[in-house]
Structure formats: structure tokens, C-alpha cells
Amino acid sequence: MTQGTLSDSWYQVAQTRVSLLPTVEAQAQRYRGQAWVLLEDGYSHRFFRVTPQAYEFLRALDGQRTVDEIWQDLARRHPEGTPGQEEVVRLLSQLHLSSLLYFKEQPHADAIVERLKKQRSRELMGKLLSFMFWRFPLFGLDKWLDPILPFIRACTGRVAGLVWLAAVCWGAATAFEHWGAISNGSEGLLSLSNLPWLYLATTLVKVVHELAHAFVCKRYGGQVPTFGVMVLVLAPLPYVDASASWGLRNKWQRAYVGAAGMLAELFLAALACVVWAATSDGTVHSMAFNVMIVGSLSSLIFNGNPLLRYDAYYILSDLVEMPNLYQKAQAQWLHYGSKYLFGLREHPEPAQDRAERAWFTGYGALAFIYRWIITLGVLAYVADQWFGVGVVMAITTVITMVLMPAAKLWAWLRVASGTHRARAIAAMGGMALGLWALLFVLPLPHALRLPGVLEARQSSPLYLQTAARLREMPVRHGQRVKKGELLARFDSPELSLQLDLVQGQIAETRAQLGLALSSTPSEVAPLQGRLDALNARRAETQKLLAALEIRAPQDGEWVAPSLHERLDGWVDRAQPVGEVVDRSALRFAAVLPQADAAELSALPPAANSELRLAGRRGEALSLSSLRMVPYQRQRLMSPSLGFGGGGDVAIRPDDSSGTTAAEAFFEIQAEFAPGGLPTDLAMHGMSGVLRVPVAARPLGSRMWAGLQQLLQHRYGL
């Protein structure tokens, strides 16, 4: 017999006369090489999986003999394969909960009823706490799918797969080509003006998603009994019941049913991307953009992640042949805690072999961590858009993910035996004390990692004062130049025309002034004022024309790596042309965010800091001194420090140069010790990371300070 041969609750179910419902059908399935029996109620479309030994017991239930009589008879005939009494009690309660049992008379099985009450109480509490998720079935979908079965087969066959592949490749190429415009457009995704389009797009995508599940399930003979509406975060969305796929014997067919929704969303997103790229502003353009975003993000981030209990999770469960993977992974970690922390050696382990133990342990840990990451990310995102809704969701999260598990643990401690209670309290107390000491007592070393670039102490960036065309480049990038040497020559026909026009107006005004001196003296003063203004305009225009010849303001090296690409092309006003730098004296300039400035009330000795340049991460360079520039700045030392250049600093979206930081920062200048910078690394503009140690503090105090800064910066609290 199996474990739990005898049960204290057995007397409560022993005299019950019960059988499976007549509508329950059984079919054999194999999971990971082991035989199982899947029970399906053809009326309610409920499924239940049992072992062959448990099914032998269920087959013997005829409603005439009592449960105890049947169990005793099987125990005599098959002592090694008969389930234990505790397993029978648990099995009957679960089948009763699934409405798969028929009782000959009114049941008095207190054990079953007690389990049923507890389960329903948990379900009710879960529904109350998940107040943002309800389901309302509307009508049966199966009768609508039967007449279009040939169309369903055509939409889910191999030819449809080739069409899907071509469309997705086309859409991906289009998205890559217009990635900048997509990124800019997504910033206003949750604006009030776009919310109606976003909801319509989400509804359309979800209708196609759910119908795809239904189509593939119907293709392989499954039934789709329900089409309904689920209310998700107060937004009604469609859903279908495709649970009949559990009865498919081929695991690849079950996986196809699970993947159908994601495949349909990606197909729709790809078509929407093509339509969006081919249209201009308007209704179709806006709708296509929202469909593209919703379809791609929903498929890749949520439904496509097996660590969340969406489509990819069920696909993974089918392919590795481990149903209820999430629940069993949780039970596996509960087993570890019960056995090794609380001393419950008899606590059952869900894993049956080494492979299952590895799967349950690894998946449970990853799913727990990722669930918290996604939860905190969603809370932060919602709070940024609707602060009140974010607060309500945060309270619900604390109740369901912190307080409820703690309440269950406390309830278990109240009923546990003295030995187990004492060990559990000691283990939990030790863990709490260790965690408290780690977070709030033990000071941990910490260092700030500040991005920056090598820059010359003497450098002269050069900009155009007006838009002009590049005509000549006498000096190439990297050449040594002398002060006053011509670096590049631009021309501007518009400025030349303005100069000719002003000179003509000056000649005209001088002639008028000469006539006024002899005939109308009263007009002399106004004409003299106009002449002075025209002379000033001519001087300014000549100055702008002279500035079109870019000359070296100092001795050094001409740095203009991409200027030759603009030869005979236009360069906009205020755009950087190049820079003359003195490579004989370089220093490292690092970006210190305002949030980290409080950590550096006093700079540490330079010998305790480390500087590593890009491409030479394994080599720490020697520094002689560190100095903080005592004022804020917002323009970065190099575009390579911003997001657009591959750096970590956020850039203002309206800055085309990529050098204006979204938030003000402080600059730390690091000077090199003699010989500390090898000559082969003395390259102006090379990026790197400066590691500056700060005072050791407990991790908890740093986390609390970071949370306070986040609330103050993002929400003004």
C-alpha cells in the first residue's frame, strides 16, 4: 500500500456509498513515461487526473457497497497497489469538489465536507481579494464553430503557418526600420486621448487571441463550451473555455492550443505594424499603432513568459509533461520548509524522482522571484499613471502576498504539536533575527559606479553659428594643428545674398543722406540712424560669414570623426563640427547623479578609487586626485554617456544632440598619477567607469533611503 495507509478521518467516510457520475469518461494518458488516467465529465467539461491504482479504486465504486468495503476488498486482492486511507479521503474530497461524484444517499462524510468548506472558503477569499478579476460566462461557442470547421482547419494548417511566418517577418523588418518612431510614439500610450484607442485595440487583440485557442482546440476534436467576459482591472475583455485541450493525448497538440493565442497576437501585431508604417496620422494610423503595441507586448512579455501562469506556462507544462507545475513547485518548497525548518519529516514531497525535484525546485524559485519583479514593476507603472489605483493595488498585493501567507503560518503554529511548534518558532525567530541583523545592523561596504569619459583639460569644441554647407576640409580627423590653422570651410548662399542686400541698402541710404543734407535737413537724423543700423547688420553678417571658416583656437589634435561624411551637405546651426584637444594632459570626467550625491559628502582618497576604461576592464588605472565640480550641470561631456550612445544616463527626449541629461548631475574629475595613463589609452572621448567607495552602511538603511528618494522624486511624497 501507499503511504498514509491508515487515517484518523477514515471512519467519517467509511460507510459512504458513492460512485462516479455516469457522464464521467476515462482515457489513458502518459506523462514522462508513466501511465495516468484522465477523468472527464462530458456534461460540465471538468477534468481530473488520477493514477491507475486510484482509478482501480474509483472503478470499484458502484454506489451499492460502502467505501470501506471496497477498500478492504482491494487491499486483500492488491495489497501493494491499493491507495492508502488518507489518499482515498483526499481523492474523494477533490472529486466531490469537482462535482464528479454521485452519492446514493445524502452524504454524511464529515471529512469530505470539511475539506470542501475549507476549499470553498479559500476560493471565496481569493475572489474577494482579486476584485479586479471576475469572469462572466455568456453563451456556448461550440455550436457556432461546428458549421465553420473547414474554415478552422484552413486557418490552423500548414499553409496558414507559412502565411503567418511571412507576415511576422515582414512586420519585424518594418518595426526594425521604424524603431525610433515606435519608441517615441509609445511614450504617449497611456495618455487620456489615446486610452479609448488602447482599449479598442486590446479588445480586438484579445478576441482574436481567444478565438485562436478555440479554433485549434476545435481542430483536434475538443469542445469549446463557453464564451464570456472577464473584468480585468475594471476593463471587460473576452475569454473562452478551451480546457478540453487537457483531454488531448498528443502533448504537441496541447501545446499548439496553448500557443495559438500568442501566434494570433503576433500575426495581428505584424499586420498592424505594416499598416501603421504605410499610413499617415488618422484613425487607421492610431488604431494600427495600438494593435501593434498591445499584440507584441502581450505576447512577448506576459503570455510568452513561462514564469507567469499564462499561455507559455501551460505550453511548458505540456511539453515537459508536468501538469500543475506551479502548484507542485510551491508544494516542493513548502516541503523543504516543513522538513528542514519545522522538523516535519513525514511531510509528503510532491517530487517523485530526481528530475521532478530539480524542475520543481528551480521553477519555484524563479517563478517566485519573477513574480515579485513583475508585481513591483506593474505597481510602479500604474502608480505613475494613476496614483490612487496604484495605492489600492499595492494594498491588495501586501494582503495576498505577505499577510495571508503569514496568517496561514500563524494558524499552523497554533495547532502544531509542542515539539514542532518550538522548533518552528526557533527557526522562524532565527531567520527573522538574522535577516534583521543583515539589513539593519551589519554595515556592508559599498561603492558608487560612475560612468564617464576621458577628456582633455584643454579642449575647444567648435559649433556653427548658422546653418551652412560644408565645402572644404583641409585637415583630416586625427591630424595635429596649430592655432589659427584652417580646419573646415563652409558657405551659405543666404548669408552672401543678405550681405549684398545690406550693402545695396547702405549705398542707397548714403545717397538719400547726401540729398537730405542739401535739401531737407529734418530727414538727416532718421537717415543717419538707418545707416548706422545697416552698418551694424553688415558687420554682423560679415562676422557670420567669417565664422564659416573654422580655424583652430589652440594647438592640439583635430577630432572630427564623422565630419567627412557631411562634405557637400548641410550642417544645422549649433551642431558640433569637431573639437581641438590637447592629448598631452587628459583627465577622467564622471557623472554623479543627484540621488547619489549625499553619499559623497567627502571624496575618499584617490588611491581607494578604481578607474577602468572600456575595452580594458581588467586593468585598474592609478589616480592622483579626485575633485567634485561644486555646481550642477545638465549637458553631458559626451553623447556616448546617454541612452542614445549606449550609456546609462537618461536623455531629454527633445534633445537631438543626445547630450542633455534628463536630470541635473554633478561632475567628478579624476586626475591620473604620473604614468597612470598608458599612451595607447590616451584617447579623448574614451568611456569608462569610476568606482568610488563610500561609507559602509547596513543594506536596510540604503534601501529605505532609496525608497524615500523614489517616493519624493516620482510622486512628490
pLDDT at 129: 46
Residue 716 to residues 298, 416, 418, 484, Cα–Cα distance (Å):
31, 47, 50, 52
Stated as kind and residue range, the H or E segment containing 662 is: strand 660-672
Closest CA to 248 of 28, 405, 562: 28
99, 101, 107, 111 alpha-carbon torsion, rounded to 10°: -80
The answer to whether 195 and 297 are in contact (CB under 8 A) is: no
pLDDT band at 42 (very low <50, low <70, confident <90, very high): low
Q: Is the pLDDT of residue 220 over 60?
A: yes
A 10 A CB-CB count for 702 gives 15
- From the number of C-beta atoms within 10 Å of its C-beta (0-12, 13-18, 19+), residue 139 rates as exposed
Which set of grid coordinates corresponds to residue 25?
469518461
710, amino acid identity: L
Q: What's the CA gap between 442 and 541, in Å, rounded?
A: 68
Strand 687-698, strand 443-456: pairing: antiparallel
Q: What's the CA gap between 45 and 48, in Å, rounded?
A: 10
Q: Where are the domains of the chain?
A: 10-129, 133-320, 458-489+549-584, 493-547, 585-715
pLDDT at 716: 65
DSSP code string of 577-600: EEEEE-TTSEEEEEEEEHHHHGGG
First-to-last C-alpha distance (Å) of the chain:
63
A 10 A CB-CB count for 192 gives 7
Q: What's the CA gap between 624 and 705, in Å, rounded?
A: 31
Q: Is the pLDDT of residue 252 over 80?
A: yes
Stated as kind and residue range, the H or E segment containing 576 is: strand 576-581
Max distance between CA atoms of the chain, in angstroms, equals 140
Give the CATH fold of the 10-129 domain. Answer: Outer Surface Protein A; domain 3 (3.90.930)
Q: Is the pLDDT of residue 134 over 60?
A: yes
Q: What's the CA gap between 426 and 429, in Å, rounded?
A: 5
Mean pLDDT over residues 3-18, rounded? 68
Give pTM, 2 decimals.
0.61
**Window from 10-14, 251-255, 629-633 with minimum mean pLDDT:** 10-14
pLDDT at 269: 92
Cβ-defined contacts of 533-542 (< 8 Å, 24+) = 534/502, 534/505, 534/506, 534/509, 535/506, 537/502, 538/499, 538/502, 538/503, 538/506, 541/495, 541/498, 541/499, 541/502, 542/499
What digits encode the pLDDT tens for the residues 160-216? 999 999 999 999 999 888 887 887 777 667 667 777 888 888 888 888 988 998 899
591, 595, 596, 597 alpha-carbon torsion, rounded to 10°: 80
What digits encode the pLDDT tens for the residues 338-353? 777 777 776 677 877 8
Which set of grid coordinates corresponds to residue 351?
517530487
Q: What's the CA gap between 565 and 324, in Å, rounded?
A: 60
Closest CA to 348 of 65, 713, 2: 2
pLDDT at 108: 46
Q: Is the pLDDT of residue 110 over 60?
A: no
Stated as kind and residue range, the H or E segment containing 17 is: none
Q: What's the CA gap between 6 and 9, in Å, rounded?
A: 9
Residues 6+ apart with CB under 8 A from 580: 459, 460, 462, 481, 487, 552, 553, 554, 556, 557, 558, 559
- The overall average pLDDT reported for the chain is 80
pLDDT band at 114 (very low <50, low <70, confident <90, very high): low
CATH label, 458-489+549-584, candidates 2.40.170.20, 1.20.120.1770, 1.10.150.120, 2.40.50.100: 2.40.50.100
Q: What's the CA gap between 216 and 198, in Å, rounded?
A: 27
**Window from 68-77, 229-238, 419-428, 513-522 with minimum mean pLDDT:** 229-238
Give the residue carrying C-alpha cell 511576422. 168
